[in-house]
Each structure stands twice: as structure tokens, then as C-alpha cells.
Amino acid sequence: MARALETRTIAAVTLWVTTAALNGCGSSRGDGEPGAAAGHQALVVSPGVTVSSATYTISGPNDFASAGTVPVGDSPDLSIVLNGIPVATGYQIDVSATASDGVTTCEASTQFDVTGPSTTVQVHLVCGVPTGDVQVTGSLNVCPVLDGVDVLPNAPFLGGTAALTASAHDADNGPNPLVYSWSAGGASLGNHPQPTLTFTCTAAGPVVIKVTVSDGDPNPACADSLTATVTCTAP
């Protein structure tokens, strides 16, 4: 999955370079020395996220190589002092750091030449938090529809029964078989896989019968409902 890097420049890295001739050293490897930030607190990248140290590597002609870790202070200026680098062209410095959250990374890279006894090189340290794409996979469900509900007879005597029959259709027949939920006067009569139910009159008067059909979709708005009235009469 593609990932992007949300970045911002937070620090200017200053590289102070002195040559081998100035220091009386003919080595082809340089020694890194921490800058003045050693006694400072960590650099704040964002609220609660800090950078306390940075790692650098330098490569150059004639297999020159130098590497080290330097502390990062609370100032956006990081200094790396290197002694004994031969006068030459085609050096490159790469600086990297990982913030305290373990996710934010900082990077910098630039090329430079050493042309005299002292050279100053400045690069910009850029920090960013990787962001990712979210892939959402969904399924299409056609909700069921109640076509009607019949009550026969619709005025049974007390102690008598009425046959309740619902008719419904589900265009895609899924994700599950239809289930019919019945209630009478607000009291549940249970869930049933069949669209029929027998209701028994226990008290005189009208009773509102409600049926709800569902195909198992977790969205309650997908269910459909209808009502009918049974009028229980005294003999």
C-alpha cells in the first residue's frame, strides 16, 4: 500500500570541516566531535515528540569515510565538527535521526567540497511522520421489503386465534435468510424463520400486531416493518 511522508524542515545542520593539512594529519578518515548542543535538552519536533541525537555518515574521494553520532540540543542548529578531512571535491554528508515516538524520522543530505583549511557546510534536517492509505472493502446489500401482512380472521372471539401472515421479498436473497420478528400490543412474540404466526386473543379490544423483517444486515435501518390490527371480541 502506498505511503506518503508528511514533512517539515526543523533544523539547519552546520558542518564545520578542517583539513588534514591544517591539523598535520594525513589520515583518510575523519573523527567526529559533538557540537555545543551536548548539554541542552532534546529538540522538540511536535508536542510530546523530541529528537535527542542524530547519526551522520560522510563519504568522499579516495574511499574517505567518517561516521558518528552527535547530540541534538533544543536549538534548531546542529553543529558537527570534523578534523583532518583531505582537501578534495565530491564529499557527501547524510544525517538521520529517529524521534522519541519511534515513528517520526529526520533526514538530511548534501554534497560539499573541501577547498581550504576551513569549510562550512549547511544542510536542512527534514522531519516527517509516515502516513498510510486505508483500504476499505465493502459489500452491497439490498434491504428486504415487506409487501403486506394479513390477519384472518381480524375479529376473533376471546380465546380464539387469528392467523398472521406476512409477505416479503429480498432482491439479493442475502446476506442471510429472512427472519420475521412479531409483537402484539408492544409485547414481543419472538423471531421466526417463517412468515406465519398464530395469535390468541386473551383480552377484548383491539391489538396492534407489528412484524419486522430482516435479512441479517447489521444496520437496523435496513429492516422493514408493517402493522395490522386484531380486534378481539367477547362472545
* CATH code, domain carrying 209: 2.60.40.10
pLDDT confidence band for 80 (50 / 70 / 90): confident
CB 232 within 8 A of CB 204: yes
Together in a domain, 53 and 87: yes
Can you tell me the distance from the alpha carbon of 85 to that of 25, in angstroms, rounded to the nearest whole number? 9
Together in a domain, 174 and 107: no
Any domain includes 105: yes
Is the pLDDT confidence value at 13 over 70? no
Together in a domain, 158 and 81: no
Can you tell me the distance from the alpha carbon of 33 to that of 17, in angstroms, rounded to the nearest whole number? 11
**Which residues on neighbouring strands pair with residue 107, listed in sequence order?**
96, 126
The helix or strand, by DSSP H or E, that contains position 20, with its residue range, turns out to be helix 20-23
Task: Please give the pLDDT value at position 104.
Answer: 87
Any domain includes 171: yes
Any domain includes 30: yes
Beta strands, E only, the chain: 3-19, 31-34, 43-46, 49-51, 53-59, 65-71, 77-85, 88-98, 105-114, 118-132, 145-152, 161-169, 179-184, 187-192, 196-200, 205-214, 224-232
For the chain, give the percent of residues with pLDDT over 90: 40
Is the pLDDT confidence value at 12 over 70? no
pLDDT digits (tens, 9 = 90+) for 95-120: 888 888 888 888 888 898 888 777 78
Any domain includes 28: yes
Together in a domain, 11 and 83: yes
Together in a domain, 181 and 228: yes
Q: How many domains, in total, are found in the chain? A: 2
For the chain, give the percent of residues with pLDDT over 70: 77
Q: What is the extent of the structural domain holding 158?
A: 145-232
Contacts with 122 (C-beta within 8 Å, 6 or more apart), sequence order:
12, 13, 14, 15, 110
Nine-digit cell string for 155 = 375479529
Together in a domain, 98 and 202: no
Can you tell me the distance from the alpha carbon of 179 to that of 145, in angstroms, rounded to the nearest whole number? 12
Any domain includes 139: no
Together in a domain, 24 and 114: yes
Any domain includes 36: yes
Asked which of 84, 103, 131 is the last residue of a domain, the reply is 131
Query: Length of the chain in residues, anyone?
Result: 235
**Which residues on neighbouring strands pair with residue 85, listed in sequence order?**
19
Regarding pTM above 0.75, the answer is: no
224 CB-contact burial (10 Å; exposed 0-12 / middle 13-18 / buried 19+): middle
Backbone phi, psi, residue 23, to 5°:
-100, 5
Query: CA of 156: how far to CAs of 163, 205, 208, in Å?
Result: 10, 10, 14
Together in a domain, 170 and 96: no
Asked which of 107, 131, 155 is the last residue of a domain, the reply is 131
Asked which of 86, 106, 131 is the last residue of a domain, the reply is 131
Any domain includes 160: yes
Together in a domain, 119 and 195: no
Together in a domain, 127 and 25: yes
CB 124 within 8 A of CB 57: no
Any domain includes 138: no
